[in-house]
Amino acid sequence: MSDLQSAKDLVRRYFAALDEGAVAAAKTYFSPDAIWRGYHPFHEIHDPVEVAKRFWEPLQNSLRRMQRRLDIFMAGENQLDAGGVWVASMGHLMGLFDEPWLNIPPTNKIAMLRYAEFHRVEGGEIIETAMFFDIPHLAAQAGLRLFASQTGAHLVHPAPMTHTGVMFDAQNPEEGHKTKAAIDFMINDIRDWTGREELGLEVELPRSWNDDMIWWGPTGIGATYTIERYIKQHAGPFRDGLADRTFNGHIARIAEGEFGGFFGWPNLTLKPSGGFMGMPASDKASDMRVIDMYRRSGDKLTENWIFIDLLHFWNQQGADILGRIPHMRG
């Protein structure tokens, strides 16, 4: 428990230091060769100072007077092979969108970049990070529709319904064990479902999810509420449009209290052979890098926030989504 709390404290100090200067924060709180895994077009970087200069400083220049608005903050021991103590957070980076970022034009208004982030803490420093941020969501706030079709709703995603996701203090370990068990059951149930597709999602999903589930999906797919609408507005189109699904596993999977999450690099490899998100069908396989964050209610999952690097997925298909923005502007 003390390891988790000290790791939380270190990450909170890092968050505060970012406001004073990204390069100084990187030098103070990260191992010099720490791994940073980010959304396309940043990908994997092995130098925290480079992360500060390539990602944080340009973003801070664009989203002026930036605030980190936390919705989930937790820590846990990673039970997977990679091991380690990880601190995860989720929320929005909010600021005044006054300068362009990644070709996205400024609005001179409030803008929110939704994000989820995992930090591995060891020896009093951060040695590994996964940070995903929904760039298409920011583009939508600037009036740009990067994808032709979205089956769910476009929203600024709210905090958990219970408003209990920011866990600065230690939590009852038993609650974390229950959450991890619910997440593990869901993952294993999907993997073991091969050959049972004829039973349908209507039978599969209630095994892991409460009926009033909310799936807060990435821009390009969207959010959906209740098992019935989730089937119609995401799970059904996902399974119809994407074939030859390969599960590649996760790097970290943690839980604390009623919340948990994981990320992979990549989680899945799939072929959009049926077409997906309004994009052309293809028999070429692409990787999906995903962060999932969950809230458990009772013994099942009830809220799920999803970050998928869709820009990377479609870039592997030959579609440079960010490269289209200058043409969309004029």
200: left (phi over 0), alpha (psi -120 to 50) or beta: left
Q: What is the pLDDT of residue 148?
A: 82
Please name every residue paired with 187 in a beta bridge, in sequence order, or none if there are none: none
Task: Assess contact for 294 and 184: CB atoms under 8 A.
Answer: no
Contacts within 8 Å (CB) and 24+ apart, 190-193: 190/247, 191/247
Q: Which CATH class is domain 2-141?
A: alpha beta
Buried b (16+ CB within 10 A) or exposed e, 263-299: bbbbbbbbbbbeebbebeebeebbbbbbbbbbbbbee
Q: What is the pLDDT of residue 193?
A: 52
Residues 273 and 288: their CA atoms lie apart, in Å, by 15
Tell me the pTM: 0.95
Task: Assess contact for 242 and 287: CB atoms under 8 A.
Answer: no
Three-state DSSP at 306 gives strand
Between strands 125-133 and 30-38, the pairing is parallel
Task: Work out the angle at residue 264's Cα, subtended by the Cα atoms of residues 263 and 270, and round it to the nearest 5 degrees.
Answer: 125
User: DSSP string spanning 93-116?
Assistant: EEEEE-S-BTTBPP-SSEEEEEEE
Three-state DSSP at 277 gives coil
Q: What is the pLDDT of residue 190?
A: 82
173-328 shares the fold of 2-141: yes
Q: What is the pLDDT of residue 196?
A: 46
Q: What is the pLDDT of residue 275?
A: 86
- Local confidence pLDDT in tens for the 330 residues of the chain: 689 999 999 999 999 999 999 999 999 999 999 999 999 999 999 999 999 999 999 999 999 999 999 999 999 999 899 899 999 999 999 999 999 999 999 999 999 999 999 999 999 999 999 999 999 999 999 999 999 888 888 888 999 999 999 999 999 999 999 999 999 999 998 876 554 454 688 999 999 999 999 999 999 999 999 999 999 999 999 988 999 989 999 999 999 999 999 999 999 999 999 889 989 999 999 999 999 999 999 999 999 999 999 999 999 999 999 999 988 864
Q: What is the pLDDT of residue 142?
A: 96
Q: Please confirm whether the linkage preceding 41 is cis (ω < 30° from 0).
A: yes
Domain ranges of the chain: 2-141, 173-328
Q: Please confirm whether the linkage preceding 173 is cis (ω < 30° from 0).
A: no
Q: What is the pLDDT of residue 199?
A: 62
Three-state DSSP at 16 gives helix
Angle between helices 22-29 and 2-18 (to 10 degrees): 160
Q: Which CATH class is domain 173-328?
A: alpha beta
Task: Work out the angle at residue 154's Cα, subtended by the Cα atoms of residues 150 and 159, and round it to the nearest 5 degrees.
Answer: 135
Q: What is the pLDDT of residue 141?
A: 96
Task: Work out the angle at residue 226's Cα, subtended by the Cα atoms of residues 245 and 118, and round it to the nearest 5 degrees.
Answer: 55
| Per-residue pLDDT tens digits for 91-103 | 999 999 999 999 9
